Structure 1
Amino acid sequence: MRKLFDLAQGQKDLISFGIGEPDFITPAHIREAAKKALDEGYTRYTPNLGFPELRKVLADKLTNKNKISVTPEEVVVTSGGTEALFFSCYILINPGDEIIIPDPGFVVYESQVYFAGGKPIHLPLRGKNNFHPDLEELKNYITPKTKAILINSPSNPTGAAFTQEELLLIAKIAKEKDLFIISDELYEDIIYDGREHISIASLPGMKEQTISIFGFSKSYAMTGWRLAYLAAPADLVKEIAKLLQNTSVCANSIAQRAGLAAIQGPQDCVKEMFSAYSERRNVLTKGLNEIKGLSCYAPEGTFYAFVNIKETGMTSEELSMYLLEKCKVVTVPGTAFGTQGEGYIRLSFATSLEDIKEGINRIKKGIEKISSC
């Protein structure tokens, strides 16, 4: 994936469906809160776990919105979701522990498990199931060395959003096998067609066995602010505090004040961005499905389309490179997310409708040239 992005650097007239981040500017009331924080002198270290008032507001949000009954002492503010994931892996994993991760799944899952001394076990997610897990198959991947299951819903790159029934079955397995769940929920606010986002930690008895990761980047267009948070049992929070003392110390003070405004302020901005993503999703999936050789189902969540390219006869990397070099369109090969991603490419529709329509036209012409050869 990085190779493709490096090749794209400096090229003109590109249409990028590549890196997944909102194309919107951070909402005004959040930016104003950051400016005010600077003027009021919030430029010093904060407590390791975050400003107490922010942790209190986040605990209220988790309790009321996500139905995870937590106290502020069970909330940690982090420098982005990647740090939250790293801390989660580091405090749970002992050398040799196995962690079941989704395949395809977000690119850092595997490396984070390795960094913590564990062994990632790839659970295949298949297109025939719209990339939802086969939970009977999941049981077969559990061994005496299994420590945790990492889930991501809604999913990057596939757009799959787990149902309550699926989460209940995963919870049942975790309870029976005494496993932790690491739940990546950064796309909680981008979920379509009336589906409800459900946090697995909200299910009976699961709060004590779950680390739930949330963020500001996707919901509030704050990727560069590097601000996220997690909810975990109090004993694990104490261990994370030790990691913070020896790594980043605390999340950025100004970003934390901005995050406070994001949670406490009007949520119209979240709804407006979601509305735009919803329209873009419909335009992109309709356009791609009209191209002979391509097919994709409408993602259930996130701003990614995971497109089946098998009929083109090209591998994921070959087609992504072809689209970049010949069509000036940036996509991500499915294999960047695991072996099960072969035969797919990921397109982010966190870009303008104008670019989406132009990108579809370029892809259509490029695929037609392949078909005519």
Structure 2
Amino acid sequence: MIAEQNVSLAPHNTFGIVAKARTLVRVKGEADVTAVLADPKLGPEPKFVLGGGSNIVLTGDVNKAVVLKVEIMGKRVVSDDAKAAVVEAGAGENWHEFVTWTLEQGFGGVENLALIPGTVGASPVQNIGAYGVELQDVFDSLDAIDLQTGRVFTLDARQCAFGYRDSVFKHAAAKDNDFGLAGRALILRVRLKLPKPWKPVLGYLDIQRKMTETGIEHPTARQVYDWVVAIRSAKLPDPRVIGNAGSFFKNPTVTPEQCQDIIARDPGIVHYPMPDGTVKLAAGWLIDACGWKGKSVGKAGVYEKQALVLVNRGGATGGEVVTLARAIQTSVYERFGIRLEPEPVVV
């Protein structure tokens, strides 16, 4: 274990916000976590787990916690039979590169999740999803380490308590015997179960447009992957060029009655019926309808091509990003009566 002092976090958050970590430890494996916990100085301090930094907004230096930068690597095929392939990746692996690797092994199932920023370890925390697929649809299990006891444990999908952009890792335990794991665990490895035969998920409008444009009615997993990469590249800014955290707000869900009320006033609203009877509304459409696309607060702005994405126009502070987000929330609530919930964690 090597503890670094006064480390810049600007390269470690996709918003590119300038901040420092008083103490940062690069976690290459569970032994590094065990060493931190056993250290007489670092062990008692709070811990802040940092993956790819694609889902955080830093509002200042991290001085009150030890930053555990997850850099656990490795990919492997755990099993492969007629029913499914189980694949595993270290929590520090780049998510998109892992998706690409699964296709190179001949396994489909996560192609709709291509080009989502961040690391493999962050994927179950957020229950990432895109174009009709969520991580929980292909999740098998994960290994994590308890940041209080140093014990390694395994969770299946049920124990992860997945919800829409939600999991047990986003909730703190209200009581000692509760299972909330926010701030209490560091994910080490994630395993996915990719079913056979592979079935494409083609329900989203953007993908259907690609089918029409190409004339391909029965795409392969690689073709769906290529389409998703093209769609996301056209809509979303590359964090390496323009700082951002991807989709900033969750798509809200409403009752059918609420949706009809909004349609009566705004017939063009983009909405998707859900299996549970609710209706998901496109948060980007709501934000655009309130006139925010392309607008800025200080050096934080709303991306010109996709209103759901907030960007760093150069030198933005976390405070400016938060101020912009709150102004958008107020506008949407005043017009539609809907409260948008941010996806990133504000630190």
Q: State whether TM-score is above 0.5.
A: no
Say which structure is richer in strand.
Answer: 2
Q: TM-score, normalised by structure 2?
A: 0.28
More helix by share: 1
